[in-house]
Amino acid sequence: MNEKSKTLLRNRPSLVVLLWLAGIALLLAFPFLINQERYILHVAIVVFFNICLATSMWLIWSLGFVSFAHAGFMGIGAYTSALFFLRLGLPLWFGVIAGALVGALIAMVVSLPLMRTRAVYFFMASWAVGEVIKRIFAYYRGFFGGWEGLFRIMPPKLGPLDFANRTAYYYLAMVLMVLIVLVVYRLNKTRTGWIFWSIHEAEVLSSHVGIHALKYKVAAFTIASALAAMTGALYAHYHTYINPKSFDIWTSEFALVHIIVGGLSTAAGPVLGAVFLTIIDELLRPTEFYRIVIFGVILILTVLFLPGGLESIPKRLRLRLWKLPEDKDTQKSIAGAFGKGRK
Amino acid sequence: MRRALLFVAGLLVLLIAFGACSRGTPSGMIQDKVIKIGGAVPLTGAVAYWGICTDQAWKDGAEVINARGGVKVGNQNYKLQIITYDHKGSTPDAQTVTKRLIEQDKVKYIYNQAAAGTIGMLEISEPAKVLTSVACWGYLEHYGKDFPYHFRSEMSDYEQGFAYMPFVKTKYPGIKKAAFLGPDDKDGYDCYYSYQRLMKYYDVQDLGVEYFQWETTDFYPLVTKTLQKKPDMIITSPTPPGITASIVKAARELGFKGPVVSPGASETKTILEVCGEQADGVVLPVTLETPQTQSQKDLAERFKKRFGEFNLYAGNLSWWVYALAEAFTVAGTFEDTTKVADALEDVVLKDTYVGTARYAGEGAYGIKRQGVYDCYTMLIEDQKGFLADVRFPELPPGY
Amino acid sequence: MTLQLTVQMAITGVTLGLIYGLIAIGLTLIFGVMRIIQYAHGEIYMLGAYFLYYWFDKWHLPYWAGFVMSAVVIFFFGAGLQLLLFRPLHGKDMLYSLAVSLALIFIISSAGIIAFGAVIRGISSFVTGQIRIAGAEWTFERMVIAGISLVLIIALWFLLQRTKIGLAMRAVAEDPETSSLQGINNRRIHWVAMGLGSALSAMAGCLMGTLMFIVPSMGFLATIKAFMIVIMGGLGSVPGALVGGFVIGFIDSFLTTLATSELAYIIGFVTIFVILVFKPSGLFGQAWE
């Protein structure tokens, strides 16, 4: 909290905006920097989807819990959009909004009972929700297509622009990614974001100072699930094929792993984690059998030796290399992270 | 502020890593006379066994062909280079791998394994006119005239049926009714469809199907339900050896005496280990476990030497690479996949690990892309697995 | 529905319930004492089964000695994991332990394919034969396995309730700081509990491996079952694990036979959800803030 308030006080909005713009410009120019190489664009789109999932999951985490139903809500978005396209002929633009609405509605209804549970019980209850969502897609074969899934979910067209072109889809996914990161980032900075963190730190205490914790928890869960559903809609129209297996617990778990490796305390964490791990996974592909083993080792090493995640690297560098600690608190926390000065 | 900085830093990481990505392609064999073949196979995860076998079959075949001096295409000899990526048996991963092989490594031939991977691959490989050779029994809608570059080189349980049903009918003449057990997914549904057609053709009454979940731990409840229908024979497909063994064990313990046929289970050893003395009467019309001819023995030895052990199922797939190599020679090109596909469908190989192997299925699927070869039926009796029958599938007229 | 069918379903349900209970008690012990999410529980279970496979089917040594040896070896393996990987994360958010155990799933199950091969195997049975009750079959193998499960569950309950180390474990579970003030070596209790939980899991793996088949990817299914049961019964509660095991076992047995396996699976998860909504800490569990 301390860290946070200082950042907020020292905020110079103009520079922040400038950096955001620089980042977006970089992303806009990216396809041309790599000469529109199609495979790399594909990896970039996958990275964007992973960022979307991890960032929206981090929004739930800012209230202190993790939802394993996240992939399920992504599936709700994907299926809504796919069915809009296949049954009604409506393109992605309707599907993504409808998906977000349906996702939000279901998330709200489910979260009311779900929020009665805590910590690891929540983890299991949300797992049950995600699993039931996935199984319902498989169970109603006539409507959802069952295990065989839905085919030919084509990307949309906009005037002369056909999003079947991968560069075009890159920009579409990028818009969604920037939108989600921006929403989560801004929300986290508002008063609501502060309330989220206060519930994270001490739910009982915050409810004693007049915060209606349940209301905020339901709100955060609903927003995050709607964002996941939007990601799902774009995912469906990109891959053109979906089946219930794409939305199983592993998808949620990978999003969680991205957050943990990236860092838990700021919105940069999920972004960094998703970028880093997705690319590592892709680079490891030629290692054949050893791919998953190496991935696991990297994961363990990051958790054990970089407890603050990737986002803590600049802080550590400042401390280690340039010996320029920000203040006593940070110094202490970093020393703690390095295993020094602990009892 | 710091967060925004990090956002930009993250993007930089992305850029740098992509740079590494694009240069990180394997460049092991820098030779100008190379035909690249891509492998999109599950080497990890639940279907790893089949993926590993497929990969070993291709790698071994490519080595043998290269040792011979390569493939003759036109007047030139070319070596085969295999590039393998793992896709865990997941559909989105298979799409990524296919894109990487086609767009990054400029591969024109891909082999794949298992239905989820195949489905991920086809939507990309077909428009790119990339020839694919796969083992996939399900998703029959994605096979046929609309997919001219898609070869299903592994014999599916439908073709196997024309080999094991004649055998079962002579071995167990009293069989009148059969029940089916399959996994609750698209593969299971399609295999049930194959089974229904087979039972009709061989005039056996179909008692219906029970689907199990891949998460099922105990098969007692499901087998109890199946046995209520009083079948003479149980067929289970596409069921890996472990689940087959569990089904057999449950069925025997619950008092079922008839034969159990599993066209997807390749090793009698697993069944014997799990079921012990209850394994008798299990029919596995899949792999040859005791090599008969000299070339079969050589292949088994070679695999043992090269990979440490000989996974039997790899033997079934070992002919694919030779067939493709022959098609290159016949077509006189490897650039034009349409010509290679036309040549491949007429290739007939003799004396492979699975005897005579060729492509067929014009009548049944509308296109000649289905591999058929000698079916080796293993039978367990007196707690021993032995080769009970060898026959080329007695395909119906108009197949 | 005939009498024979009902008896058969009941027998299957009881057997499955006890085996599921055994898979789950190791996890409930680890959960209760250390409050970490040991997600790689099923992978430990797989390792236990493979140990017995090599012992019994490859080296041809006695079955029950292998069963005990597997438990001992995995006890030290689990304790080693605790000392090496989980202790540094103690006192941190439980997400870190979740991440480490997820990584363990990746490493152990993939390394298992490399080390043991992807071929599916089975541990040979230690006993054959069966009896018939009202037309329903009950094999001696299943009977013995259910009996061992029951004995182990009772033994763990006895250990926790009636022995000194059990008392210490409960004290650490209740309040680590006060317990260390009372002179309990928390670290030791932690690795002992982790080792014990892993050993129980390994024994479950051995029994299930004998009953079914073994394959390097078999662990995750056990993890799913163990989590469903532990959460339903309540963390740290041995009777809870037993009751949870019976609930899931009976759902699996009756619903699969009378309806479909798909429905059984969905109803299992719905049941957990409903139980958690009305009893947010499981049936017999302690609250976890």
Give the tens place of pLDDT for each residue, A38-66.
999 999 999 999 999 999 999 999 998 88
Q: What is the mean pLDDT of residues B173-201?
A: 92
Which residues of chain C are within 8 Å of residue B218 when distances are taken between CB atoms? 12, 16, 211-212, 252
Tell me what pLDDT residue A10 has: 56
Cα–Cα dist B151/B154, whole Å: 9
Are the Cβ atoms of A46 and B96 closer than 8 angstroms?
yes
How many CB pairs (< 8 A) connect A and B? 142
Q: Determine whether the interchain pair B253/C208 forms a contact, defined as Cβ–Cβ distance below 8 Å.
A: no
CA distances to B156, B202, B357 from B376, in Å: 14, 20, 13
The owner of tokens 């041995």 is C238
- The CA distance from A128 to C270, in Å, is 7
Q: What phi-psi label fits residue C282: left (phi over 0), alpha (psi between -120 and 50 degrees) or beta?
A: left
Give the Cα separation of B250 and B272 in Å (integer): 14
CB B260 within 8 A of CB B233: yes
Name the 3-class secondary structure at A170: helix
Q: Mean pLDDT across the stretch B293-303? A: 93
pLDDT digits (tens, 9 = 90+) for C191-239: 999 999 999 999 999 999 999 999 998 998 899 899 999 989 888 889 9
Nearest to B49 among C119, C122, C261 (CB): C119
Smallest CA–CA distance, residue B72 to chain C, in Å, is: 36
**Cβ atoms B353, B296 nearer than 8 A:** yes
**Block residue for tokens 């019964």:** C233
- B302: which 2 tokens? 């070679």
Q: How far apart are the first and last CA of chain B?
A: 70
Q: What pLDDT does residue B9 have?
A: 55
A339 pLDDT tier (thresholds 50, 70, 90): very low
Backbone angles phi, psi at B61, to 5 degrees: -60, -45
- Overall domain count for chain C: 1
Q: What is the pLDDT of residues A4-30, one digit of tens each?
A: 555 555 555 678 888 889 999 999 999
> Are B347 and B327 a contacting pair, CB within 8 Å?
yes
Torsion C23-C29-C35-C40 (CA) sign: negative
Say if C287 falls within a structural domain.
Answer: no
pLDDT digits (tens, 9 = 90+) for A206-247: 888 888 989 999 999 999 999 999 999 999 999 999 999 989
Q: Is C90 strand, coil or helix? A: coil
DSSP for residue B141 = G
Q: In the 8-state DSSP scheme, what is residue C94?
A: H
Query: Is pLDDT of B12 > 90?
Result: no
**Are residues C253 and B277, on separate chains, in Cβ contact within 8 Å?**
no
Residue among A65, A64, A51 at smallest CA distance from A230: A51
CB contact under 8 A, B220 and C12: yes
Proportion of chain C above pLDDT 70, given as a percent: 98
Q: Which of A131, A253, A291 sits opposite C269 (nearest CB)?
A: A131
User: pTM of the predicted model, to two decimals?
Assistant: 0.90
Distance in angstroms (rounded) separating the CA atoms of residues A339 and B86 = 38
> How far apart are alpha carbons A207 and A221 in whole angstroms?
18
Q: Among A57, A67, A132, pick the best mutation site for testing chain C contact (most C Cβ within 10 A).
A: A132
Say which residue the tokens 């199922």 belong to. Answer: B313
- Whether C2 has a pLDDT exceeding 70, the answer reads yes
Chain A hits for B24, Cβ within 8 Å: 283, 286
How far is C106 from chain A, CA to nearest CA, in Å? 5
Instruction: Say which of B213, B245, B309 has its CB closest to residue C262.
Output: B213
Q: How far apart are CA A71 and CA A49, in angstroms?
A: 12
CB of C134 closer than 8 Å to CB of C7: yes
Instruction: Answer for the pair C122, C214: CB distance below 8 angstroms, yes or no.
Output: yes
Contact A185, B2 (CB under 8 A): no
DSSP 8-state assignment for residue A242: B
Say which residue, B388 or B46, is predicted with more confidence.
B388
Nearest CA in chain C to A301: C100
Convert the pLDDT of each residue in B250-277 to its tens digit: 999 999 999 999 998 888 888 998 998 8
| DSSP strand pairing (B177-183 vs B233-236) | parallel
Which fold does the domain B33-152+319-352 belong to in CATH? Rossmann fold (3.40.50)
A239 contact B CB<8A:
yes
Contact B44 A12 (CB under 8 A): no
**CB nearest A266 (choices: B3, B11, B91):** B3
- Is A340's pLDDT higher than 50? no
Average model confidence (pLDDT) across chain C: 91
pLDDT of the residue at A337: 47
| Distance in angstroms (rounded) separating the CA atoms of residues A298 and A304 | 10
Q: Is the pLDDT of residue A336 over 70?
A: no
**Please, are residues B83 and B38 in contact by the beta-carbon 8 Å criterion?**
yes
Q: CB neighbours (10 Å) of residue C177?
A: 9
Please write down the long-range contacts of B61-67, taking CB distance under 8 Å and 24 or more positions apart: B61/B318, B61/B320, B61/B321, B61/B322, B61/B325, B62/B37, B62/B321, B63/B306, B64/B302, B65/B321, B65/B322, B65/B325
Instruction: Determine, for residues C262 and A139 on separate chains, whether the beta-carbon distance falls below 8 Å.
Output: yes
Tell me which residues of chain A, numbers 286 to 305, contact chain B at a CB-CB cutoff of 8 Å.
Answer: 286, 288-289, 291-292
Q: With CB atoms and an 8 Å threshold, state whether A26 touches B100.
A: no
How many whole angstroms from its chain centre is CA B118? 11
pLDDT of residue C35: 83
**Touching check for A5 and chain B: CB below 8 Å?**
no
* Position A262, amino acid: G
Residue at token pair 């560098």: A317
Which residues 64-93 of chain B have a CB within 8 Å of chain C? none
> Where do we find the tokens 């939507």?
B123
Cβ of A18 under 8 Å from any chain C Cβ? no
Determine the distance in angstroms separating the CA of A314 from the nearest CA of chain B, rounded to an integer: 9
Q: What is the DSSP string of B51-75?
A: HHHHHHHHHHHHHHHHHTT-EEETT
Q: Contact, A240 vs A155, CB < 8 A? A: yes
Helix (H/G/I), strand (E/B), else coil: C272: helix
Domain boundaries, chain B: 33-152+319-352, 157-289+378-391
CB–CB contact A296 C235 (8 Å):
no
Crossing angle of helices A268-284 and A249-262, in 10° steps, is 110
* Site from B185, B218, B383 to mutate, C interface, most C CB atoms within 10 angstroms: B218
R_g over Cα of chain B: 22
Q: Is residue C283 part of a domain?
A: no
Which of residues B35 and A330 earns the better pLDDT score? B35
- How confident is the prediction for chain B on average, in pLDDT? 88
Contact B386, B290 (CB under 8 A): yes
- Residue A115's nearest CA partner among A220, A207, A205 is A220
Q: How far apart are CA B287 and CA B353, in angstroms?
A: 9
DSSP state string for B151-186: EE-SPPHHHHHHHHHHHHHHHSTT--EEEEEEESSH
Its ipTM equals 0.91
C133 CB near a chain B CB, below 8 Å?
A: no
The CA distance from A157 to A181, in Å, is 25
Nearby residues of A109 by Cβ (< 8 Å), 6 or more positions away: none
Chain-chain contact of C119 with B270 (C-beta, under 8 angstroms): yes
Looking at residue C135, its pLDDT comes to 84
CB contacts, 8 Å: C281 with chain A:
118, 121
- End-to-end CA gap in chain C: 46
| Portion 192-221 of A in contact with B at CB < 8 A | none
Q: Is A2 exposed, middle or buried (0-12, 13-18, 19+ CB in 10 A)?
A: exposed
Q: A272–B86: do the CB atoms touch at under 8 Å?
A: no
Exposure of A342 by Cβ count < 10 A (0-12 exposed, 13-18 middle, 19+ buried)? Answer: exposed
Window B:178-197, CB contacts with C under 8 Å: 184
Contact across the interface for C120 and B242, Cβ inside 8 Å: yes
Yes or no, beta carbons of A33 and B15 under 8 Å apart: yes
- Could you say which of A147, A181, A291 has the minimum Cβ distance to residue B185? A147
**Smallest CA–CA distance from B122 into chain A, residue:** A241
**The token pair that represents A84 in the structure block:** 């809009």
Phi, psi of C111 (to 5 degrees): -65, -30
Structural contact between residues B247 and B191, judged by C-beta atoms closer than 8 angstroms: no
Among A311, A316, A309, A310, smallest CA distance to A340 is for A316
What percent of chain C has pLDDT above 90?
62
Asked if residue C248 lies in contact with residue C144, where contact means CB atoms within 8 angstroms, the answer is no
Residue C209 near residue C52, CB atoms below 8 Å:
yes
Domain B157-289+378-391 -> CATH class: alpha beta
Architecture of domain A2-248: Orthogonal Bundle (1.10)
B116-126 mean pLDDT:
90
Measured distance CA(A195)–CA(B172) in Å, rounded: 74
CA distance A271 to B246: 45
Query: With contacts defined as CB-CB under 8 Å, which chain B residues touch A19?
Result: 4-5, 7-8
Q: Is B308 on the interface with A (CB under 8 A)?
A: no
Q: Is A140 on the interface with C (CB under 8 A)?
A: no
Which residue range forms the structural domain that includes residue C241? 3-278
Q: Tell me which of A124, A140, A302 to substitute to probe the interface with C (most C C-beta atoms closer than 10 Å).
A: A124
Question: How large is the average pLDDT for residues A123-133?
Answer: 91
Using CA coordinates, name the residue in chain B closest to A10: B1
B363–chain C Cβ distance below 8 A for any pair:
no
Q: Residues B193-213: what's their mean pLDDT?
A: 93
- We report the CATH number of the domain holding residue C72 as 1.10.3470
Region A137-146: mean pLDDT is 90
CB–CB contact A138 C262 (8 Å): yes
